[in-house]
Amino acid sequence: MSPQTDPNFWKNRRVCVTGGAGFLGSFVIEALKQRGASEVYVPTLEEYDLVQPADIQRMYDTARPDIVIHLAALAGGIGANRARPADFFYINLMMGVQLMHEAWKRGVGKFVAIGTVCAYPKFTPIPFREETLWDGYPEETNAPYGLAKKMLLVQAQAYREQYGFNAIYLLPVNLYGPRDNFDLKTSHVIPALIRKYIEAQARGDKEVVLWGDGSPTREFLYAGDAADGILTAAEFYNGSEPVNLGSGQEISIKDLSEMIARLTGFEGKLVWDTSYPNGQPRRALDTSRAANYFGWRAQTSFEEGLKQTIAWYRKTVGSK
């Protein structure tokens, strides 16, 4: 748990967490319990289609929240974004815009909107600072997704200005951890690599083929740390400016691939298939605003987080 928390903040507050049944959501729900939140409502996909206004209204009728944490998103890696750009745009935009509008109409006390690092321009200077968010177009493969989520920032600022509505906007970097999505068609790079290496090991393969050339850099945040950052912001941050949530550590995909190979024990050759796209050339965040505005920093070291993720996969998925 974050060293900074207000023990009374969550008492008697009703919290609605969209996407609470998902990967990041599972960590947010755990962290809410640790912080003393007793009334937490998680709308499920089976019960609610949060693109439909009637379902959103029905959800709010049931949850009657004081705080909304909007984590729900259609998300995925480069392959998924390229295959379904219209879905990634429409579903994310319509969910977010309508959820926030209805929250304002109902007098919800606070709306915590979760953006994405994909909203940043393709050639943002490193490290990404929040004030550069509008300095160019996002990387093409995930622009529809990034821009749909970026509209939540515009909406949060507009509703604060016109209505005094307390909506905040957070930008987590790429997340990883136990319970991540390990489906090779839709997963992000860390779970994909873990699965590829462990399966290659089991088959006795001498090599693993990887996308691109390994040159892009990324920053990763342990999902437990992201949940901690989101809840710390919910407690202490009431401003209009977007805030990055990251670890502050940049690593190349090549180095990451070698590190995960070492931690999984895969000793074969890594072969780079350069016919596949690299995605954004570099990605690393300036995380000073979170530290300055609400005293938050990531706690989990990268190697420790990877070890926990690999151990979870071996125990839960790899044994099936």
> So which residues are the catalytic ones?
145
| Integer Cα distance of 258 and 280 in angstroms | 20
Structure-block tokens of residue 71: 């984590």
Give the H or E element holding residue 181: none
- Is residue 298 a contact partner of residue 177, using CB atoms and an 8 Å limit? no
Q: Which of 160, 166, 121 is nearest to 140 (CA)?
A: 121
Count CA within 13 A, CB hemisphere, residue 217: 15
Residues constituting the chain: 320
* Joined tokens for residue 273: 């298939």
Residues 225 and 290 sit within 8 Å (Cβ to Cβ): no
Token pair for 147: 């821009």
What is the 3-state secondary structure of 154-172? Answer: HHHHHHHHHHCCCEEEEEE
Question: Residue 111: phi, psi to the nearest 5?
Answer: -125, 120
On whether the CB atoms of residues 106 and 159 are closer than 8 A, the answer is no
CA–CA distances in Å: residue 263 to residues 198, 257, 296, 309, 312? 10, 10, 29, 11, 13
Residues with Cβ within 8 Å of 319's Cβ and at least 6 positions away in sequence, in order, are: none
